[in-house]
Amino acid sequence: MARIADYPIYIEEILRNYGQYTPAYGDVEVETVIDREQQHYQLLTVGWNKDRRVWGCIVHIDIKGQKIWVQHDGTEEGVANLLVEKGVPKQDIVLAYHAPYKRQYTGFAVN
């Protein structure tokens, strides 16, 4: 079972792995944004595709209290699933992109 002190390490590892991918279109970069002090973690796309600006958040995760809050997850496999594979208990992961009343049905923490 993972320890809370290991959660930032797991999150950073997952984001860095996703950050290695290069979008198949335009002049677009993937940026990993890590704020260890405030415990905010993001993976962003930024650049241009022809004459259109590209910017978007792929993943946004916060650590609040003793839990990992997945604020946004634009990945196919789901970062919460990857965290569970690393030993993080489901009760320590909140899928914050679901409405609070729906979280009880996710199998993860409610808050």
What's the pLDDT at 86? 96
Dump pLDDT digits (tens) for 62-104. 999 999 999 999 999 999 999 999 999 999 999 999 999 999 9
Q: What domains does the chain contain, in order, with CATH numbers?
A: 4-98 (3.30.310.110)
Band of residue 23 on the pLDDT scale cut at 50, 70, 90:
confident
% of the chain with per-residue pLDDT over 90: 92
Spatial CB neighbours of 40, under 8 Å, sequence gap ≥ 6? 33, 34, 60, 61, 62
The residue ranges of DSSP E strands in 1-111, in sequence order, are: 27-35, 40-49, 52-64, 67-73, 93-95
What's the pLDDT at 102? 97
What's the pLDDT at 22? 85
Identify whether the C-beta of residue 75 lies closer than 8 Å to the C-beta of residue 10: no
Q: What is the pTM of this model?
A: 0.93
Q: How distant, in Å, are the alpha carbons of 22, 23, 35, 46, 55 from that of 30?
A: 7, 8, 17, 7, 10
Identify whether the C-beta of residue 45 lies closer than 8 Å to the C-beta of residue 16: no
Band of residue 2 on the pLDDT scale cut at 50, 70, 90:
confident
